């Protein structure tokens, strides 16, 4: 799969990436990585370009990081692509963002199939434009039998809404007599979340210098390691991604206990 990761790069760059992949693969790799892809607008502004140019460049970077994650054996990657709050942005920008899944999934789908990557989505699908829904549903259908890494897009996703919907489903089970209040556990709640089929993230990466979660996977990130960087998302290359992994590999994850001490 290395040829897919280094496609179009110089021999020196390819060799550097191969060395880093080998180095990282010798230690524990996070199974699930969540990424808040921030900084597209600022990237464009620095270059006197419209914001949509930054979003387009950010979309291209998703390919690069997807290949890198797959190359080191990551099992799942969740990308915060569009939040429930992003509808407040200018209409033309939102319309452009809603077209990106068509372009990305349409052009990247053959490679996703070759790499055995499965597309999934969390968020409220029915609020998305029809053309966006079709693009996402087609990609999920085409890749549903793939058994490799999961590329999970958070589209029209907000964690508080996710939790409210989960509580409503649990409340209905209690009302219908299928569940007792005393039987509610963390497992019950987790099983009602949009990420029920995924393990909680081991590592969260946020680009562009912001240090907050922005309503992203609030329940799932309870014991996740955080890694923040000033790098804007379109500039967040494989080496920056591998830097985050290396930092993660140095940490002692205790989960409230005294592991390693």
- Judged against a pLDDT cut of 90, whether residue 2 lies above it is answered with no
Binned at pLDDT 50, 70 and 90, residue 11 comes out as confident
Evaluate whether residue 176 is within a structural domain.
no
Among residues 38, 70, 152, 156, which one is catalytic? Answer: 38
- Judged against a pLDDT cut of 90, whether residue 10 lies above it is answered with no
Among residues 3, 11, 86, 183, which one is catalytic? Answer: 86
Ordered DSSP codes for 184-216: --HHHHHHTSTTTTSPPPSEEEE-TT--S--SS
For Cα atoms 24, 26, 30, give the angle at the middle one, nearest 5 degrees. Answer: 60
Q: pLDDT at position 260, please?
A: 55
Give the separation between CA 47 and CA 43, rounded to whole angstroms.
7
Name the DSSP class of 118. E
Name the DSSP class of 27. S
197 is catalytic: no
Give the separation between CA 234 and CA 237, rounded to whole angstroms.
8
Q: pLDDT at position 12, please?
A: 77
CATH number (domain holding residue 84):
3.40.1180.10
Q: pLDDT at position 13, please?
A: 76
- Judged against a pLDDT cut of 50, whether residue 66 lies above it is answered with yes
Evaluate whether residue 125 is within a structural domain.
yes
Evaluate whether residue 181 is within a structural domain.
no
Binned at pLDDT 50, 70 and 90, residue 124 comes out as very high
Give the separation between CA 121 and CA 37, rounded to whole angstroms.
16
Evaluate whether residue 195 is within a structural domain.
no
Question: What integer is the mean pLDDT of 109-116?
Answer: 97
Give tens-digit pLDDT for 140-174: 999 999 999 999 999 999 999 999 999 999 999 99
Evaluate whether residue 190 is within a structural domain.
no
User: Which residue is listed with tokens 């089929």?
Assistant: 197
Q: pLDDT at position 7, please?
A: 47
Over the chain, what is the mean pLDDT? 94
Structural domains in the chain (count): 1
260: left (phi over 0), alpha (psi -120 to 50) or beta: left
Evaluate whether residue 173 is within a structural domain.
no
Evaluate whether residue 144 is within a structural domain.
yes
What is the span of the domain harbouring residue 38?
2-7+31-158+201-249
130 is catalytic: no
Evaluate whether residue 193 is within a structural domain.
no
């Amino acid at each position: 799969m290395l040829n897919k990761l280094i496609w179009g790069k110089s021999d020196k760059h390819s060799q550097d990436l191969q060395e880093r992949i080998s180095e990282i693969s010798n230690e524990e790799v996070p199974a699930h990585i969540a990424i808040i892809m921030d900084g597209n607008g600022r990237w464009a502004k620095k270059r006197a370009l419209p914001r949509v140019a930054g979003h387009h460049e950010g979309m291209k970077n998703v390919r690069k990081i997807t290949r890198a994650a797959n190359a080191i054996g990551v099992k799942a990657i969740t990308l915060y692509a569009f939040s429930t709050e992003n509808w407040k942005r200018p209409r033309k920008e939102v319309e452009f963002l809603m077209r990106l899944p068509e372009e990305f999934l349409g052009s990247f789908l053959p490679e996703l199939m070759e790499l055995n990557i499965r597309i999934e989505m969390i968020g409220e699908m029915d609020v998305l434009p029809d053309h966006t829904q079709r693009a996402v549903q087609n990609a999920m259908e085409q890749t549903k039998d793939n058994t490799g890494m999961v590329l999970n897009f958070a589209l029209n996703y907000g964690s508080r809404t996710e939790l409210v919907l989960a509580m409503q489903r649990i409340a209905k089970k209690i009302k219908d007599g299928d569940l007792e209040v005393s039987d509610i556990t963390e497992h019950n709640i987790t099983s009602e979340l949009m990420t029920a089929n995924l393990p909680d993230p081991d590592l969260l990466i946020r680009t562009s210098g912001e240090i907050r979660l922005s309503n992203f996977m609030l329940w799932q990130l309870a014991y996740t390691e955080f890694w923040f960087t000033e790098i804007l998302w379109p500039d967040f290359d494989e080496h920056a991604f591998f830097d985050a992994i290396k930092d993660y590999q140095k940490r002692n994850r205790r989960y409230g206990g005294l592991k390693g001490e």
